[in-house]
Structure 1
Amino acid sequence: MALAGAGSQGALASVRGLVEDETANRFVRNNVLAPIVPLCARRASSQVSFPAPVLSRLWRALKSVAAARVEEAAARCNPWDLEQGSPEVFDELCKLAAAGLRDPENAAFDSVRSLCDPEQLALCLQLSTLTRGCLPKLAEWVSRMSDERAAAARLAYRDACRISEDAGPLLLDILSAHLPDDWRIMRVISAVMDRPSDRYLASSEVSQFGERILTEIEETIALIESFSFADGEKAGRQAAQAAQKVQLQMVEIQQSVDIAKDGPWGKRLARQKQAMAKACELRMDQAEKELDKALPTRPISMLAKKGARGVAKLIEAPDEAMIRRAQSALAFVAELRACADKAGYGSSRTKVLEKLNARLDPYIEDVLHVARTGEGGDSAVAVKYLDIAASFIAYTRDDKTAEIVRRRAAAAIAA
């Protein structure tokens, strides 16, 4: 994109040519090796993956041992051919790569063998024909599974198992890498095994898929319990989004597997639901304290009862560290909107929001009064706190309410 303005002449013309050649080369490579491309990226330790340089080295090796086939693949990498389905030469090249990796005498693949387990990569490439056939159907398998699609998924799994005993689970792992949410592969597993019980699935050759999700849920619970408000709004949002993901993962397991209350996964899932609700409720309850620290108050009189709110303390400039902590806590509460009701802590979230708004509403009125009159504090400091309070109320209510507060602040300053 940076070189888009460079023409065929000039100092950057050769650089643009190199970039265009590399882009075209990667396009062909990624189409031919499409089944394994997402495996050459960061994945969980229990998932099949290979170092990123594997792709380029494997492609370089193929060019050296099958130059004519690679040229044919490049010629067939046009929109028309790709719309008609993957050309046979793509699968032929994958099979050649698998054979080359398994042949210790083939020096062209030495650089690839030095990076990973060559047999595992060879098996992934051997499955390329099956994988490539499944990929166009994968979106429908995980969104609108039917009896016909379930039969196709079972057939693909059986065909993989004929290649090798462990090739069936490997095929599912490869397909999961092509999904935006890899845990949705549970829908395909459910179809292949006709919605098995958790007892059966937990002892089967594909148990690692469910175990991986349950382990990820436990890790997310630990994240929510320990994330620091000091890391700001982004940390709060990320923690809440992780909670949303957990709620979806729990639903996915329940819909894909016949969960028994006393089953190995059923008992574990029940404990996780309780732990997640408890963790989210605890962190939401902390939001009010963080808000109090960010928006300090002073007692109205010496005789004020302990715990009384008091009025806004507008002497010193806002504490940025406290504001950042409050933003994190409030963002966490706000972002849980999408999953709180379904996950069982919706009423707790509603109560927390009521407390937060009961704290913010009178505070904003106090600060507006000081901003207009200068009575009870520094009007310049009051303006700063008004802007902060407006940003906070965007979390507890919405952006429209925050904008109204800002307009009132502007009017107070103008007056």
Structure 2
Amino acid sequence: MAGLSVAHKVALAAIVERAPDPMLAKLSQVVGSLPGERARELQTMLAVEALDRRRRAIVLMPLLPMFRQRADGIECMTFPVGVLPRLWKAASSREPELLCRLDDDGPDVMPVVNRICLAAASVVRDKPDLIWPVDANPAAREKGLADLATCLDLARLARDALPSLEIWLKRPDGDQIAELRLLLKDCAGVHHDGSQRVLEILFSHLEDAVLILRVITQTSGVAERESFLSASELADFVQRLIVGVEVRAARIAAFQSGATKVRVEEIIADFSWCAAVLSELDITLTLNPQSAWGKSVRDGRVMISGQLSSFLRAADKAVDKALPLAKVKIGGRMSRKCPLMTAPFEGPDVNSVRNLLKLVGSVRGAASVFGAESNRKLLVESLTARLSDYADEALHMVNDGEVADEAHALKLIALASHCLALINAKDAARTVRRRAAVAGADKDDKASSRAA
């Protein structure tokens, strides 16, 4: 069977080059099981591409996270994803005979890695159009190229520093803090803004953005003071976190419990993220309440705290709407409330109560930060009692044959059980589910006795 034509190879090479790593691995697995010369040629292409990417990851490891946006949306120094393969191709082609040394773990690896990084920096400066195509924003492109070249110059120092990052995030001793400050001094010796650039590289490796505060407050003996930090080149990191709180506070305020466009899990994550950031700011920085930062932090805390209290109140009312009670006369003017077994078990009110109760059950840690944990705990205790009573009364009605549609009633009871589970009243929810599983048995036993 004939192999791949030149046109096929060119087309497949373009596809393989653009394929994400997971897709590349999947393609290799699938193609490896296919027969024929074409499959073998494609398998070879995939293997070559995989090897090339492994080498690229070794050389450009300090900068790799900078070729994608942060998952938390916090502003950071990034480069277009399409620049990465262009950069590697241009840099690695300068001395291709050295690439095979990257496949070993010997002492020759680091010199080769550092050499290729410096070659990459030269390519960015000498042939920018080859690395970063001209786009509609020449000013941003020019700045991006300068930042990329600087980061490549600092790649060796950043690579040596990354193993110490976890230490700096915990409780570094004097020697370890001195190591961090020496790193920044060395980077400043490479470029006038090298210390800030290497912190950008370290920041890109932090999944939790707020942890950068623990690093920058170790950069100087007075870095935890707002008056120093706000006037330094490191102020931008704090400002980004404060903007992140403001953005999430606005998203929380705009959330509608019955809506489907924004998932409640996203709002819960926003509460948790803001709580973590504000707590870390309190611990690591001494903020002046009258400063711009102090006022922003206070306003964000007040807004989020007020919205959380509003959600707690709304959750209390949402239970009554989703699982309403109706007055039933029991003789003369006497009446009592019992579950309305004709209420719908799905719809906007049910969606709303599910979202709100899931939020109530999931923001325990955040509620403590925003001063609402006592109210949240009281609400959980109250709702546990109310939902358990509702389910108990509804089960009695089912067992006594007082409902016209037993299947509908059992779905309402299941909803009550689900609501209990959402607020982490697991024992009560389990009891309701167990009793609902045998609901109606008492009624059947009575009917059988009468028939006998």
- Out of 206, 222, 227, the position equivalent to 2:250 is 222
CA offsets 1:147-185 (integer angstroms, 9 cap, x no match)? 111111111111122222222212111111101112211
State the match for 1:89 in structure 2: 112
Tell me if the contact between 2:74 and 2:209 (Cα under 8 Å) persists in the aligned partners: no
TM-fit CA distance, 1:232 = 5.7
State the match for 1:76 in structure 2: 102
Q: Does residue 449 of structure 2 align to residue 412 of structure 1?
A: no
Q: Does residue 78 of structure 2 align to residue 49 of structure 1?
A: yes
What SS class does the counterpart of residue 59 from structure 1 fall into? helix
In structure 1, what is the Cα distance between the partners aligned to 2:387 and 2:158? 56
Q: Does residue 412 of structure 2 align to residue 385 of structure 1?
A: yes
TM-fit CA distance, 1:119 = 1.5
TM-fit CA distance, 1:268 = 3.0
Tell me if the contact between 2:324 and 2:343 (Cα under 8 Å) persists in the aligned partners: no
- Out of 139, 146, 149, the position equivalent to 2:166 is 139
State the match for 1:276 in structure 2: 304
State the match for 1:237 in structure 2: 265
TM-score (norm 1): 0.88
Gaps of 5+ in 1: none
Within 5 Å, give how 1:142-181 maps onto structure 2.
142-181=169-208
TM-fit CA distance, 1:125 = 0.8
Aligned residues: 404
In structure 1, what is the Cα distance between the partners aligned to 2:145 and 2:331? 78
Give the letter for the 2:280 counterpart: E
What SS class does the counterpart of residue 328 from structure 2 fall into? coil
Tell me if the contact between 1:217 and 1:246 (Cα under 8 Å) persists in the aligned partners: yes
Q: Does residue 90 of structure 2 align to residue 61 of structure 1?
A: yes
What SS class does the counterpart of residue 210 from structure 1 fall into? helix
TM-fit CA distance, 1:317 = 4.1
In structure 1, what is the Cα distance between the partners aligned to 2:402 and 2:348? 27
State the match for 2:340 in structure 1: 313
After superposition, the Cα gap between the structure-2 partners of 1:207 and 1:7, relative to the gap in structure 1 and judged at 3 Å, is: closer
Gaps of 5+ in 2: 1-24, 136-140, 443-452
Within 5 Å, give how 1:239-258 maps onto structure 2.
239-258=267-286
- The share of aligned pairs that are identical, in percent, is 26
- Out of 385, 389, 402, the position equivalent to 1:358 is 385
What SS class does the counterpart of residue 298 from structure 1 fall into? strand
> Which structure's CA Rg is the greater one?
2
Give the letter for the 1:76 counterpart: L
Give the letter for the 2:220 counterpart: M
State the match for 1:369 in structure 2: 396
TM-fit CA distance, 1:329 = 0.6
- Out of 4, 10, 28, the position equivalent to 2:35 is 10
After superposition, the Cα gap between the structure-2 partners of 1:257 and 1:309, relative to the gap in structure 1 and judged at 3 Å, is: farther
TM-score (norm 2): 0.81
State the match for 1:114 in structure 2: 134
- Structure number with higher relative contact order (C-alpha < 8 Å, ≥ 6 residues apart): 1
Tell me if the contact between 1:383 and 1:409 (Cα under 8 Å) persists in the aligned partners: yes
RMSD: 2.8
TM-fit CA distance, 1:395 = 1.5
After superposition, the Cα gap between the structure-2 partners of 1:341 and 1:39, relative to the gap in structure 1 and judged at 3 Å, is: same
TM-fit CA distance, 1:240 = 2.0
In structure 2, what is the Cα distance between the partners aligned to 1:329 and 1:355? 15
In structure 1, what is the Cα distance between the partners aligned to 2:197 and 2:118? 17
Tell me if the contact between 1:198 and 1:264 (Cα under 8 Å) persists in the aligned partners: no
What SS class does the counterpart of residue 263 from structure 2 fall into? helix
